[in-house]
Amino acid sequence: MGLYAANSLDLVCQQILRDNPDLPFPLTKDNILVLGGPFTTNLGTSGRKTRLVLNGKAGAGFTGRREFFYDRLDLSKLFTGITVVFEADGTAATVADLLPALNEQYGLGLEAEDISNGSTALSYAYQPTIVPITISASSLAYTGSLSVTWTRKPSGYYPDSGPGSKTMLIGDMNAGYFGTVTQAEFMTPGDLYDSDRATLGNFTPVVNASLFWIKFALDGEIYYFPSTTLMTGVAWNALNAIGAVHGDSQYPWVVKTGDGNNTFVNLELPRSSSEDPMGPVRNEAGSVSARIFNKLHANAYGTKEWDSLAFDLSALFIWMNHYDNGTTDSVYAGQMNQATVTSVKEAAAYNWRPMLKLVQGEAVVIPLRNVQGESFGRIVPPAMSIDQTRDPSMPVRMINILGTFQRGITAPTMELPRLAAQDTVRSPINLKAAIPNGGFRYMKITVDVNSKIPLSSLDGELPEFQ
């Protein structure tokens, strides 16, 4: 199949050379000009099915106008017995957008100018879908038609995108579609109501077994939207008071969802216009209807670009925008596809279909809500064994010490001081004695003592020096 990977003009040159082997000069897409054709008339006796009028460029080997006869490639016969199946890019919107994937897989060189239905819009093709490719009568190299089976490649995989499929089917994070999510996978109206009865207690959940959720991306965020009314008896100003109009509540809602996880969501209303307040417009380019909702159905204003779902399009519900009708307390109300436009008072009870924006709960601190518990047993103390044996090397404090003397303590021997011969007398000694009064006279005796002691008299010993 790689033989046909060139574009049509290049293939024409090859086909003319094939069908005219005696041609004395080469033909290439760079040395010819197409003056007319391809024609299927005035073929004469050529035995070929196509006529083409060419003019040679300078150096082509021929000059002037010249006719060539050849047979174009019949695309239907080229793939006889072959089922053409391939995946195309997730952004493919028309039949012409399929050609790059078809060419790459089957070795062709088809261009948008070669087919007559290139502008035909494609369906979403999340499952294998048959699409006809019809060759244009003006194609130089091809004729016939071909039915191909194609599947749209997913746009991406988002593992942290919450309950439901993590694969984005079409679009991107600016505006993309993941598919639908059941109540069992996500939540029921009662689940949302029970998540914070203190705040939502005045609203009335609507029990509807057919309700499902639409999972989509918008402006970089993941949203869920109910297919029908979620609750009734809801006023716009009551929602605004709890931060559920613009999604600016202090804390997100925490709901136990069907996947077994606690899912964090913010509540807000869908935007019906990029202006606030807004006039009586429908399907305004900045509205969620134009960007998301109307791509999912085939009713009024629906394009069925992404899916063909069965919505509740009859019930009106309140939207984010105020309605510019000369009053200051009216807000917009309308159907999901905006086929009907009206207004209600901010304080009037009405239907509620909120957009639930997924919040990554790891970075959110929230207060505890509706915490309940019950005892289901007692705490058993752990078994403990205390070893009371004392470590023999451990110091022990001594208390209550008693004892007895084993022997008496001898008093120390004390002697009176006496004059020693070796003592140095440094001053005269005066001795005085008291003589009893008996008629004697007192006497004064003076003794002079030499303070130096001759060492020769001591025989080399000082017995008193210890």
Share of the chain above pLDDT 90, in %: 54
Query: What is the average per-residue pLDDT within 30-54?
Result: 91
Count CB atoms within 10 A of the CB of residue 7.
Answer: 16
Question: What does the H/E/C string look like for 71-112?
Answer: CCEEHHHHCCCCCCEEEECCCCCEHHHHHHHHHHHHCECCCH
What pLDDT is attached to residue 1? 46
Which is nearest to 145 in space by CA: 95, 197, 203?
Answer: 95
Residue 432 clears pLDDT 50, i.e. is over it: yes
Which residue has better confidence, 29 or 178? 178
Which residue has better confidence, 244 or 401? 244
Which residue has better confidence, 164 or 377? 164
Highest mean pLDDT (candidates 47-51, 178-182, 253-257, 311-315): 178-182
Residue 64 clears pLDDT 90, i.e. is over it: no
- pLDDT band of residue 317 (cuts 50, 70, 90) is very high
Please give the structure tokens belonging to residue 165. Answer: 């499929």
Highest mean pLDDT (candidates 21-30, 72-81, 153-162, 454-463): 153-162
Residue 106 phi/psi, 5-degree rounding, is: -115, 10
Between CA 36 and CA 399 the distance in angstroms is 128
What pLDDT is attached to residue 440? 47
- pLDDT band of residue 258 (cuts 50, 70, 90) is confident
Highest mean pLDDT (candidates 57-61, 201-205, 210-214): 210-214
Which residue has better confidence, 308 or 327? 308
Give the number of C-alpha atoms closer than 13 A to the C-alpha of residue 278, restricted to the C-beta side. 25
What pLDDT is attached to residue 457? 62
Between CA 243 and CA 87 the distance in angstroms is 44
Please give the structure tokens belonging to residue 163. Answer: 């309950």
Contact 205, 189 (CB under 8 A): yes
Residue 460 clears pLDDT 60, i.e. is over it: no
> Three-state SS for 14?
helix
What pLDDT is attached to residue 25? 79
Quick: pLDDT tens for 350-396: 999 999 999 986 666 666 655 566 767 777 777 777 777 877 887 87
Q: Which residue has the tokens 């809500």?
A: 369
Contact 252, 265 (CB under 8 A): yes
Query: What is the average per-residue pLDDT within 20-27?
Result: 81
Contact 255, 195 (CB under 8 A): yes
Quick: pLDDT tens for 100-131: 999 999 999 999 999 999 999 999 999 999 99
Between CA 51 and CA 162 the distance in angstroms is 61
Quick: pLDDT tens for 394-410: 787 777 777 776 766 67
Residue 66 clears pLDDT 70, i.e. is over it: yes
- pLDDT band of residue 203 (cuts 50, 70, 90) is very high
Query: What is the average per-residue pLDDT within 245-250?
Result: 93
Mean pLDDT (the chain) is 85
Lowest mean pLDDT among 181-185, 302-306, 308-312, 460-464: 460-464
Contact 306, 177 (CB under 8 A): yes
Lowest mean pLDDT among 6-10, 256-260, 402-406: 402-406
Residue 309 clears pLDDT 50, i.e. is over it: yes
- pLDDT band of residue 166 (cuts 50, 70, 90) is very high
Within 175-265, residue ranges assigned H as helices are: 189-195, 197-200, 236-241
What pLDDT is attached to residue 201? 85
What pLDDT is attached to residue 141? 93
Q: Which residue has the tokens 């159905």?
A: 297
Residue 436 clears pLDDT 60, i.e. is over it: no
DSSP state at residue 465: -
